[in-house]
Amino acid sequence: MIWRPLNLEEVCPVHTQLSACSYFGYVYLNLLVQLFGDSSERRTQEELRHHEKEEDEDRIVESTRSYGHRKHSPEEYDFIVVGAGSAGCVVANRLSQNKKWKVLLLEAGPEQPDVTLVPGLSTALLGSNIDWAYSTEPDGRSCLAARGGRCSWPRGKVMGGSSSINLLVYIRGNKLDYDTWAAMGNEGWSYRDVLPYFKKSERNLNYEGLDSKYHGVDGEQYVSRYPYIDKPSIMMTDAFNERGLPLNDYNGAHQVGTQQAQAISLNGQRVSTNTAFIRPIRYKRKNLTVKTNSEAVKILIDENKRAYGVKYFKNNLIYTAIAKKEVIVSGGSINSPKLLLLSGIGPKDQLERLGIHVVKDLAVGENLHDHVTFNGIVIALPNKTATIRENNEVLREVIDYANKEIKDGPLSGNGPVNSVAFIRTEPHLPAPDIQYQTFSVKWREYIKELPDYDRTRIFPTSFYDGLESRIMNLVPRSRGKLCLNTTDPNGPPLLYSNYYEDETDLIPLIKGTRFFLSLEDTQAFKANGAHFLRIQLPACRDHKWGTDDYIVCLARKYTATTYHPVGTCKMGPKWDKKAVVDPKLRVYGVSGLRVIDSSIMPIVPRGNTNAPTIMIGERGVDFVIEDWLHNYHHG
């Protein structure tokens, strides 16, 4: 077994009525481990031979005890890709298409377990051993009701990265986002420039795929709607539609609107970038080496400030790998800046305080931002509309899904998560500033024990009697930063979200919540007996439910992430003092080194970040291929 679920003993309060913390919660998680804990990528005899060969090559390593005292011939590759996530899997796939290039793909986490394939189990992945399980530092302005004033920031630590543990939604953002990147001095990143790269990877299975102007149908990344969409999900889309939002393809000509969003799925199963881009080629392309449980800890940089390899940690040993052409960092918005900082690339004062040799003084870790949202606005569903099941029925549905060849039924969908809408809170705005994404809840537990309920969402998203909408600010002005941990630089970095540092970030949330509350007057809500729970949450009892003050209180006390942190290795022109990489994603001042992932985003797109990160993988690796095929190297 390679999957270890959330440890309930660590997260459950002492006195609690949460069903996740009951004996049934333990039984349920144990069943998931038994049914889905392993990986379907069980090695064939051929794979075992490949593994044995890889282990033989690994004998050239240096142990941590002997490092610096023994000389070995290091492994040699043309390219080293650090991180097998949403971008890294794309990069490794495209580079290894050239049979002359030897490519190493390093992933800190394990193989992708089968539990990740089940859409309805998406929230059960959070806090497990395939989640880095980061958390923010207290700031006195946000996450105030959470334990220690810290918000959880999940990130995938597994093949496929966050594309293996996210909520599967495929949304690209707005045309204006990419045109703004280009207007900031990032040549080659306008919407016209990036649209072909969105289409290149996409294999769209729904009617949208017929619109070849906006969609691709030949790529590796499957995109489709779930085979199972329940009644409350349709109710939400109908209600938004009644309130004037057209039924739209968010990834087409217009974004304002509502629809059941598409997902990175095929026939009721998740398709991570590992599934799409690495599994089909992993044991077929002899020039591609994939190493799991291998965490890069340092980029090797010579006296000419050229990156020539990495050191990585595996099986309690330190290994060295050499890159004859480039090191490409695709660790994501948290691990990419961390690796650069550990390698001496970052703010000079921070590195010197930690005793790290400064290779290049750059604003690594700055420009951190996220689509901030909050919990607490809840819709109660009557029995006729609710999808909640008895415990024995939940177990039966899980077992049924595991045994089906054709994956259908409640777990082949993700509950109401794909009930998405975009609005402009003011008519003059050029693009949406609010996105709604709906989560399923058991409302009686939710109301009484937030935020502990939020930390223990282990049950299928398909079974619920309440809905909460994550009302997210798509255009946050607040910027945070990431720093190395001063007590343990190799440990989890310090994440300063700085949510609401710019208080104007609260304005779209207030206006967006007002619009959301108006859904109660729709025929869709009335026909289904849905209504808002006008019950004040404990930390906001001093404010009248539904008022602006109450909304602000919820935003500050019950702050939540939408899992979209970006920007920590900002892309920008040379004159941009906050830029870490140039528009070709080359790290300033260090040759042979690029960052290709969501950390390069100068501004977060208006939507979920997985699809844009896949696009960045496609766009970024194209720069690499172009440079090397034209025998040009940035020096």
Annotated binding site: 158, 166-169
Strands 317-329 and 593-595: parallel
Euclidean distance between CA atoms 177 and 193, whole angstroms? 12
Q: Which residues contact 287 (CB under 8 A, 6 or more apart)?
A: 96, 98, 99, 100, 101, 102, 103
3-state secondary structure 189-214: CCHHHHHHHHHHHEEECCHHHHCCCC
Residue 15 structure tokens: 């006195």
Establish whether 428 is a catalytic residue.
no
**Residue corresponding to tokens 């993988």:** 617
CA distances from 609 to 246, 565, 597, 599 (A): 23, 9, 10, 11
Nearest-CA neighbor of 146 among 550, 539, 548? 539
Rounded to whole angstroms, the Cα distance separating 339 from 343 reads 6
User: What's the rounded Cα separation, in Å, for the pair 70 and 62?
Assistant: 7
Task: Give 202's strand partners.
Answer: 221
Q: How far apart are CA 176 and CA 282, in angstroms?
A: 37
> Chain-centre distance of CA 303, in angstroms?
36
Q: 424: helix, coil or strand?
A: coil
Count of Cβ atoms closer than 10 Å to residue 203 Cβ: 18
Please say whether the beta carbons of 95 and 103 come within 8 A.
Answer: yes
Q: How far apart are CA 201 and CA 513, in angstroms?
A: 35
Cα separation, 545 vs 553, whole angstroms: 10
Mark the binding-site residues for FAD, compressed into ranges.
158, 166-169
Residue 355 CB coordination number (10 Å): 7
d(CA 83, CA 88): 6
Q: Of these residues, 371, 531, 564, 634, which one is catalytic? A: 564
Residue 565 near residue 152 (C-beta atoms within 8 A):
no
What is the distance of C-alpha 18 from the center of its chain? 27
Q: Which helix (H) or strand (E) holds 625?
A: helix 610-629
Active site residues: 564
